[in-house]
Amino acid sequence: MSHTLPKVMSHVLWPIYIPVAVLLIEPPGPRRRALIALVGTGVAVGAFLLYHLVDYPVSSQLVGQHIQYVSPPHFLAMVSTLYLVSTTLGLMLSTHPKAKIFGALTLLSFAVAYGFYTTWFISVWCFFAVLLSTVVYFRFLPRRSLRESFP
């Protein structure tokens, strides 16, 4: 189970959770219709990947200094594109400037990871996701706590 949970989080949760989270913070208006469509895309991608994770588990292996993930070929192209759309486009469509910046940074990290580390793309993009998550963590940390942490 310990090896399955991270794959469920990355493959199933994120394409659903991110557009839902953006939809919930977005004020009423025309962008919400696009976000609802992205939630539908995320649910479809998450359901497809969940189904296939059961039949065709994703494996990982250490290669050099990287983690290489081995996925069945049907996980590629179309599903990867829809995954990227559901995890970044909603953020970039948001009326909230910080959500837009986060979406742009997520898309940029995708481009860098794919452009420079194609073979190890998934693990490198996950590394960038950890860095971006740390930024989000510090954004919501109370200011007083930050000052106490870094005197």
In terms of pLDDT, which residue wins out, 8 or 25? 25
> Residue holding tokens 């590394």?
127
CB 107 within 8 A of CB 92: yes
Q: Concatenate the DSSP letters of all residues of 37-92 into one string.
A: HHHHHHHHHHHHHHHHHHHS--EEEEETTEEEEE--GGGSHHHHHHHHIIIIIHHH
Domain limits at 10? 4-149
pLDDT in tens, 22-73: 999 999 888 899 999 999 999 999 998 888 877 777 777 777 777 777 766 6
Question: How many whole angstroms separate alpha carbon 151 and alpha carbon 147?
Answer: 6
Tens-digit pLDDT profile for residues 122-149: 778 888 888 988 888 877 777 665 556 5
pLDDT tens digits for range 76-118: 678 888 988 999 999 999 999 989 998 999 999 899 988 888 7
Full-model pTM: 0.78
Domain count, the chain: 1
Separation CA 26–CA 145 (nearest Å): 28
Residue identified by tokens 């989000």 is 136
